[in-house]
Amino acid sequence: MQTPLSPSRQRWEQVKKLPLKIATPSPTPEERQLAEDEERVLNTPRAGEQCKHFGAFKRLIDCGCAIRSKVFICAAPENPVHECTIHKQGYEPQVAGCKGCNWRKIPDELLPRPNPPVPYWESIPAICSETRIAPRWFHLIDGQRLKPGADNFNGSLMRWRGKLFLAYRHRFGRAEIRFAELDHNLAPIHDMTINPRQITGRNKVACEDPRLFLRGDQLWMSYNGIGYDAGGKKMVTQSVSQIDEAGRLTASKWARYPRSRVTFGDYEKNWAFFDYDVGLNCVYQPAPAHVVLRSNDNANWVDCGETPFAGIPQLGLLRGGAMPFWRKGEWYSFCHTIFNSPNPAKGGTNRFYTTALYTFADTPPFAPCRMLPFPLLTPTLTGYQSHSGRIVFVCGAFYENGQWIISGGWQDKQVFVAAYDADEIERNLVRI
């Protein structure tokens, strides 16, 4: 006999059945023309179809990336070489395209090889694909109400001085950070670009994944700066800044930790900052050792506490997410987990990101105390997926009116906001 679902689980099953609406920018005239050309060719397939710009139409392919666009291949020897806006992932950028249109000639060696589809989540533990606590509500912010032209995702929502503010990432490649005030319906009132590149050259390439947090009555933000060192090697560095209502950054500092534990180069990211005593602290890494750092100037960091912490292995690797939020004598850390799964169809791996929650003590060495034994939020296993897998990437969390409000990125495509009953979460946390 099948065990009946709890009321919370029943609500979540209903939420998962709701259609996932992914907002896309309005098409340009060139894109509309391309769509009309594509429909014409699909509806009247015949040998020797002619490209209206150059040469003979060769064939129609599925690009194989997350966009699932169909691409016309146009043979034009005089076409300029430029970066392909579709095959940014997994393909060399040297792709020739027609002048003045979106037709492209892709070298044969770059064409995707046909492979049978393999559902990579088959190897993901069952605990990673289900949740036992349903959100009170779940909302995807309309991307067209934010900055149009590219995907807006990995948003961090925080209430400050009675207002709701959202910092989010605009674009996947060469990303920039945007800052918006939202109304009570989570609709943007105003939206602006934050340009930290005016402050330093360490983020010459991109600024990614902002996180908002409070220091007393001040609003602060951290983000990842992408750049290159003097030798041309890619580097990712953590930055922390104070921010005002107009999106102006002050007191910006780059975090330096001489005992870097990163095993793959100068690649520091996902530090979880929190205010303690007279200085600023951060969770440098949640597991396999819970390492906490401390700084008096927001730039130079030293060890403050280290506690062995394996988490729950079935959930995957614990990584920093939202900034820890203090409540009832503990810091609540909503972080993300990563489960890497082989994907023969891509010839590599896909990632499955979920949202986890653990708490840690409010005094040094800030040892972990409790944890949810299951993911709080998981991405759906059907429908749209990110170029790198199924991803829900938590970036913000705060408590108000008996509920936890969490926010982040949904499938590297949109900003999500969800509310969870705080008492229900408390009943499910277990001592570790």
d(CA 337, CA 154): 15
CA-to-CA distance for 389 and 391, rounded, in angstroms?
Answer: 6
**pLDDT computed for residue 308 by the predictor:** 93
Q: Which whole-number Å values give the CA distances from 282 to 238, 279, 297, 370, in the listed order?
A: 11, 10, 13, 18
**For 246-276, b where at least 16 C-beta lie within 10 A, e where not — what string?**
ebebeebbbbebeeeeeeeeeebbbbbbbbb
Side-chain half-sphere of 61: how many Cα atoms within 13 Å? 21
Dist CA 392 CA 351 (whole Å):
11
Tokens of 274: 């929190």
246 Cβ contact list (under 8 Å, min separation 6): 192
CA distance 388 to 209: 16
- Single out the residue of 232, 231, 237 nearest to residue 197, CA to CA: 237
Instruction: Name the residue type at position 318.
Output: L
pLDDT by residue (tens digit) across 281-303?
A: 999 999 999 999 999 888 889 99
Q: Which tens digits make up the pLDDT trace of 230-282?
A: 777 778 888 899 998 888 888 888 888 877 776 555 788 899 999 988 789 99
| Cβ neighbours of residue 90 closer than 8 Å, sequence gap 6 or more | 64, 65, 346
As a whole number, mean pLDDT of residues 102-128 equals 50
The model carries a pTM of: 0.72
Q: Phi-psi bin for 205: left (phi > 0), alpha (psi -120 to 50), beta?
A: alpha
Q: Which residues of 114-125 are buried (b: 16+ CB within 10 A; e: fewer)?
A: eeeeeebbeebe
Q: Which domains does the chain have, with CATH numbers?
A: 29-110 (no CATH), 120-431 (2.115.10.20)
Residues 6+ apart with CB under 8 A from 162: none
Q: Which stretch of 146-155, 194-203, 406-415, 416-425 has the lowest confidence by average pLDDT?
A: 194-203
The pLDDT tens digits for 42-71 are 443 333 333 343 333 333 333 333 333 333
* Rounded average pLDDT over 81-99: 35
* 7 pLDDT tier (thresholds 50, 70, 90): low
Per-residue pLDDT reduced to its tens digit, 166-176: 999 999 888 99
Q: Residue 79: what pLDDT?
A: 35
| Contact yes or no for 293/301 (Cβ under 8 A) | yes
Q: For the chain, what is the mean pLDDT?
A: 75
Q: Per-residue pLDDT averaged across 202-206, rounded?
A: 80
pLDDT at 345: 59
Q: Which helix (H) or strand (E) holds 251?
A: strand 249-254
Total Cβ atoms within 10 A of residue 44: 8
CA 314 vs CA 125, 309, 322: distances in Å: 7, 14, 21
What does the DSSP 8-state code read for residue 87? -
Is there a contact between 237 and 266 (Cβ–Cβ < 8 Å)? yes
Q: Which helix (H) or strand (E) holds 15?
A: helix 7-17
Element containing residue 291 per DSSP (H, E): strand 289-295
**How high is the pLDDT of residue 205?**
83
Q: How far is CA 316 from each of CA 8, 81, 179, rounded to the nearest angstrom?
A: 24, 42, 31
The phi, psi pair for 315, rounded to 5°, reads -80, -15
Q: Which of 118, 106, 98, 180 is nearest to 147 (CA)?
A: 180
The DSSP secondary-structure symbol of 386 reads B
